[in-house]
Structure 1
Amino acid sequence: MSHSPRIRLAAVAASVALLAMAGCSGGDATPEPGSSTTGAETPSGEILVLTNRTDIVDTTFQDYKKTFEAKYPDVKVKFEALTDYEGEVKTRMNTKEYGDVLLIPSTVQQADYPDFFEPLGTTDELGKTYRFINEAAVDGTVYGIATFGNANGMVYNKDVFKAAGITEMPKTSEEFMADLQAVKDKTDAIPLYTNYKDGWPLGWPQSLMGSVSGDAEALVKMADDKSPWDDGKEKATLDSMLFDVVKAGLTEQDPTTTNWENSKNLIGTGKIAVMPLGTWALAQMQEAATKAGADPKSIGYMPPPVQVDGTFVSPIGGDFKMAININSEHKAAARAWIDWMGNESGYSDEVGGLSPLIDHPAPTALKEFEATGVKYLEMTPAPKLSTVDNKAEIGLSSPDYYRELVDAARGASGKSKEDIFKSLNEKWGAAVESVG
């Protein structure tokens, strides 16, 4: 699966307007805000579940279907897996026909959730059971439950680190740079791979917001900060990490020739040392190692290379949120599927992610990661951040300005980091002023 990092926990969704007619499609059956109609009847009927998992819809999901239908014999589940999930579902949401259960596209503004999705309960109620519920809530009402959660840090090859003489996780950006230099000096591996050409993996500095400050409100505060790229501020520190690694020659020789799918094989076989990605990527890299005849246990996960008061901090957030189409004719059945997926399916363990359940242990794949003493930091959602970002036309989770940083760092553009940061501050400051 080529899964972009939606959590990309600090991912900033693009703002795409959907036709107003879709927002009025609930009819007389539309419940009052904060209420839910899904628990009043026995689950029955056929439901269509939309998914982005084209890779396991005919295998793992069929097992889920069998187990679920044995528990709910009056419900029949059909799946539709979409390759261009976001684009296809966004289009369908201009009608009433967007499945019974769907993953909320990032292009839907959080404030618009009540127009499209069935209320699932209150934040006070569901927050006792689930993580990440505020990420899909409006005015205290929850409209989506996370499929699983992502922690943020870096995938790395343990064998390459060992060959470079690295014996412990870097605690500062200086130690991180020194470790990457050791990889360059003592091995044939690329120290850090940018995935510049595909672009979307370059947004990792934004995904690590919170790791430097240890502040769950970091994104909220950035939305009000007129100059987040000032020297010493968290955003500038993280973006500088990308710039400095490239400038030091610790990335691939020609970033314009990178290839996402091939990068999995390269890190799996020890030709890449580090790739900054969410924990969702760990299973994919281990699978690639296995396919290449390498040891999947050589692929590990490390915290962001910085500590707060002597502790590593990993920002966490929910992946896609499961929601019920407000127009569904079988809402009780749809709710039963969401509850079963979140509570009983084991899907989060299957993908190596954090369970949406607060009291569920981390998957085996993350035990070594947790052994570093890393603290999980659930970031406070900041809807205003995307508003400011759109107004500034920067794209905090888009590749454009990160590519600009890489090009400047490798001497391909004639710009300096200071030039770029000054321009970003000007655009951002004007947008904050405008949004108010």
Structure 2
Amino acid sequence: MGKKTTLAGTFLTVAALTVTGCGGGGAASGETAEAPGDPAAASGTITVLTQRTDLVQSGAMDAYAAEFNKIYPKVKVEFEGLTDYEGEVKIRMNTEDYGDVLMIPASVSKNDYPKFFSPLGAADAMAKKYRFSDKTAVDGKVYGLAQFGTANGFVYNKALWRKAGVTEWPATPQEFLAGLEKVKAKTGAVPYYTNFKDGWPLVQWTANIGSVTCDNYATNKLAGAVSPWKEGGELRTVDTLLHDIVKGGLSEKDPSTTNWEASKAKIAKGEIGSMMLGSWSITQMRDAAEKAGADPADIGFMPFPAKDGSGKYCATLVSDYQQAVNAHSAHKEAARAWIDWFTEKSGYSAKEGAVPTIKSAPMPDTLQDFVDNDVTFVERSERDTGAVNDIDNAAEIGLNKQDYRQKLIDIARGAEKGSVEEYFAQLDKRWNEAAEASGS
């Protein structure tokens, strides 16, 4: 899997702060898509749109459908794997023909969900059973269920860090930098890899909002003229660490030459020490280790270097793509049956090494180190995402675009004039002006 498979869901919906509205077909009925009481009563052919072209092509999705048919024998499931998922589905949503089940595109404004999707149930009730349900809650109703979630942190080569003499997770940004210094001095490896050229991994740094302060409502608190990059602010802490890594010569020499696919083998072989990514990446790095003849067990995952008041590390949990039922589907019962089964019974999240949507399910083996070390998982509230979206778009910063952090890196390495303090002040000014103009 690469960026266009797992990550396409993960980072676009980690915090989709760059959304716009899009047109639609006729008026939706607004009726709840209920699963059938009797599985044998559900029937019809449903089309499931997915970004997982790899699983469609390999036949893995058909294998899931075969298992589904053991419970729902009269429902035929057909899959459409779309390479440019966001672009293609956005166009199709100008009609009523956008599958029966689909992943909610980031281009659809949250407040427009009722126009395009059938509600799945009351928000209060669904929140008791499912993680991330407030991501798609509008006016007390939930419109989509996450395929899975991901924790945020640093994927790293354990053996390399041990060789450098670092055997415990850094507890502060300063300790993390000191650890990178040791990796550089004692191993000769690139301590940290920015993935600057591909760009999208830089967005992963935004997903740390909530990790620094262990605050479920951290994202909501950006909805106003709050100077997000002020001293003590989470974005100030997060972006300062990235800046200091680069300024200290602890990343690759030429960021313009980074290569995402190549980085997997390099971290597996101990040529790279660490990268900021979601926990979805662990299985990819371990697969790369096997292919490179390295030990998959060397691939570890550590939380952002900060602790809460009780001395515990925290890691944000963020949602992958959410599956929804097309409001115009002729087979809503069958479509809902698929979503429920895929979320609760398929084993998909476990196979992906991801955080399960069902709250009662255990964390995946990929996060065993977090469980063993009592890391606090912070499920971020998405209550005020719409307001934050508006401010971010108006300020033209792009918390979930690569550009502003690429500029941060260029400042750090001297490729662009200015200081990090000036840059943060400029970002705060733009943010606050946009917030005040919008009345936030």
Please report the TM-score for the alignment, with normalisation by the length of structure 1. 0.95
Matched ranges for 1:259-278 at <5 A: 259-278=259-278
The answer to whether the 8 A contact 2:411-2:420 is kept is: yes
Aligned to 1:44: 43
Residues in 2 aligned to 1:338 and 1:221: alpha-carbon distance in whole angstroms = 32
Tell me by how many angstroms 1:40 deviates. 7.5
Where 2:237 maps in the other structure, the secondary structure is: helix
The answer to whether the 8 A contact 2:391-2:438 is kept is: yes
The answer to whether the 8 A contact 2:152-2:315 is kept is: yes
Do structure 1's residue 17 and structure 2's residue 21 form an aligned pair? yes
Tell me by how many angstroms 1:408 deviates. 0.3
2:417 alignment partner AA: G
Residues in 2 aligned to 1:350 and 1:7: alpha-carbon distance in whole angstroms = 16
Tell me by how many angstroms 1:233 deviates. 1.3
Aligned to 1:205: 205
> Could you give the per-residue CA deviations for residues 238-263 of structure 1, whole angstroms, max 9, x where no partner exists?
11111011000000000000011111
The answer to whether the 8 A contact 1:243-1:406 is kept is: yes
Aligned to 1:149: 149
CA, structure 1 residues 36+73, in 2 after alignment: closer, same or farther (shift >3 Å)?
closer
1:343 alignment partner AA: E
Tell me by how many angstroms 1:388 deviates. 0.7
Residues in 1 aligned to 2:372 and 2:118: alpha-carbon distance in whole angstroms = 39
Tell me by how many angstroms 1:171 deviates. 0.6
Residues in 2 aligned to 1:284 and 1:225: alpha-carbon distance in whole angstroms = 39
Residues in 1 aligned to 2:395 and 2:144: alpha-carbon distance in whole angstroms = 29
Matched ranges for 1:365-376 at <5 A: 365-376=366-377
Do structure 1's residue 122 and structure 2's residue 125 form an aligned pair? no
Do structure 1's residue 406 and structure 2's residue 409 form an aligned pair? yes
2:50 alignment partner AA: T
Residues in 1 aligned to 2:36 and 2:125: alpha-carbon distance in whole angstroms = 14
Where 2:47 maps in the other structure, the secondary structure is: strand
Do structure 1's residue 326 and structure 2's residue 330 form an aligned pair? no
Give the % identical residues: 46
CA, structure 1 residues 297+200, in 2 after alignment: closer, same or farther (shift >3 Å)?
same
Residues in 1 aligned to 2:397 and 2:161: alpha-carbon distance in whole angstroms = 35
Tell me by how many angstroms 1:184 deviates. 0.4
Tell me by how many angstroms 1:37 deviates. 5.0
Do structure 1's residue 385 and structure 2's residue 388 form an aligned pair? yes
Residues in 1 aligned to 2:386 and 2:189: alpha-carbon distance in whole angstroms = 40
Aligned to 2:337: 336
Of 411, 421, 426, which aligns to 1:423? 426
Tell me by how many angstroms 1:215 deviates. 1.2
Do structure 1's residue 312 and structure 2's residue 308 form an aligned pair? no
Aligned-pair Cα RMSD in Å: 1.5
Residues in 2 aligned to 1:351 and 1:429: alpha-carbon distance in whole angstroms = 40
1:317 alignment partner AA: V
2:375 alignment partner AA: V
Matched ranges for 1:125-274 at <5 A: 125-274=125-274
> Could you give the per-residue CA deviations for residues 180-203 of structure 1, whole angstroms, max 9, x where no partner exists?
000000112111100000111112
> Could you give the per-residue CA deviations for residues 62-108 of structure 1, whole angstroms, max 9, x where no partner exists?
21111111211110011111111111111111111111111111111
Aligned to 2:286: 286
Return 5+ residue gaps in structure 2 as ranges: none
Where 1:249 maps in the other structure, the secondary structure is: coil
Return 5+ residue gaps in structure 1 as ranges: none
The answer to whether the 8 A contact 2:225-2:433 is kept is: no
CA, structure 1 residues 59+36, in 2 after alignment: closer, same or farther (shift >3 Å)?
closer
Tell me by how many angstroms 1:425 deviates. 0.9
Tell me by how many angstroms 1:160 deviates. 0.8
Aligned to 1:2: 2
Matched ranges for 1:28-39 at <5 A: 30-31=29-30, 35-36=32-33, 39=36
Aligned to 2:362: 361
> Could you give the per-residue CA deviations for residues 327-368 of structure 1, whole angstroms, max 9, x where no partner exists?
111111100100000110000001100100001001112112
Residues in 2 aligned to 1:166 and 1:302: alpha-carbon distance in whole angstroms = 12
The answer to whether the 8 A contact 1:316-1:378 is kept is: yes
Residues in 1 aligned to 2:327 and 2:107: alpha-carbon distance in whole angstroms = 18
1:392 alignment partner AA: A
The answer to whether the 8 A contact 2:15-2:207 is kept is: yes
Please report the TM-score for the alignment, with normalisation by the length of structure 2. 0.95
Residues in 1 aligned to 2:77 and 2:16: alpha-carbon distance in whole angstroms = 32
CA, structure 1 residues 70+10, in 2 after alignment: closer, same or farther (shift >3 Å)?
closer
